[in-house]
Amino acid sequence: MLVLQVFCSLIGWFCLYLLFCYTFAQRGAEWSCRLVTLSHGVIIVLLTGYVLFIDGPLPFTHAGTENTELQSVSLAVCLGYFFFDMCWCVCFHTEGPLMLAHHAGSIVGILLALLMGVSGCETCGAIFGSEITNPLLQTRWFLRQLGLYDSLLGDAVDLLFIVLFATVRVGVGTVLFYCEVTSPRTTLIMKLGGVAMYALAWVFMVDIARFCCKKSRAKYKKWQENNKLKQAQKVNGKSE
């Protein structure tokens, strides 16, 4: 049953990709893959959000417990996507070693949770925290392709992405990580997986902090240049 769920998920995401390829044939393969990624981000955040906050239990208090049926379904849906995206990235060489390591770690972590039948709770929590920023990341890419990134909308997307990543993936993620490694129910292998994924989150956070500093300096430099230009125009206006 588990294998069938993952296989159906993989086929489902692949069929969605083919549909996007047919619909947006003029845009190219990456456009279609990004749409699949955006769709997965929205769907899995809603699904794991329901699993965590409505169906329960919360991973902060029940780390290492047996998987519920809905947790297993959510993990199977996510695993099928990661298999699809990992294969696509390898075939088209679009991602670097860091992102491939993230995908590989996610696949291994979800597989362990499904095969052992435990820790689905905190695994769903980790998926929710990591995927909640994904739609913004894809929106940023689409804005670039459409020539709309250098605008107020692009700045708003970047700001929201940075705030969500820092507060949810790193902030709340730190609390979840602590609950997982200190829980007597969580197996050692899942704790080690948690350490690896938490370390990757901080690597991403450092990259984001660098990007934030670089963009802030560029924005400040542009503001200075515009301010000098306005002052020069005022001086020229008075001299005339």
Q: How many helices (H) does the chain have, and how many strands (E)? A: 10, 0
Q: How many structural domains is the chain composed of?
A: 1
Question: What is the SS3 assignment for 118?
Answer: strand
What are the tens digits of pLDDT across the range 160-211? 999 999 999 899 999 999 999 999 999 999 999 999 989 989 998 999 889 8
Q: Which residue has the higher pLDDT, 54 or 216?
A: 54
What are the tens digits of pLDDT across the range 63-93? 999 999 999 999 999 999 999 999 999 999 8
Question: Is the Cβ–Cβ distance between 42 and 161 less than 8 Å?
Answer: no
Q: Please give the Cα distance from 199 to 62 (Å, whole number).
A: 22
| Structure tokens, 48 | 């794991």
Cis check: omega of the bond before 135, within 30 degrees of 0: no
Domain that holds residue 177: 1-237
The closest of 41, 49, 67 to 161, measured between CA atoms, is 41
Contacts of 213 (CB under 8 A, 6+ apart): none
Kindly report the pTM of this predicted structure.
Answer: 0.88
Identify the pLDDT of residue 232: 66
| Structure tokens, 211 | 């990007």
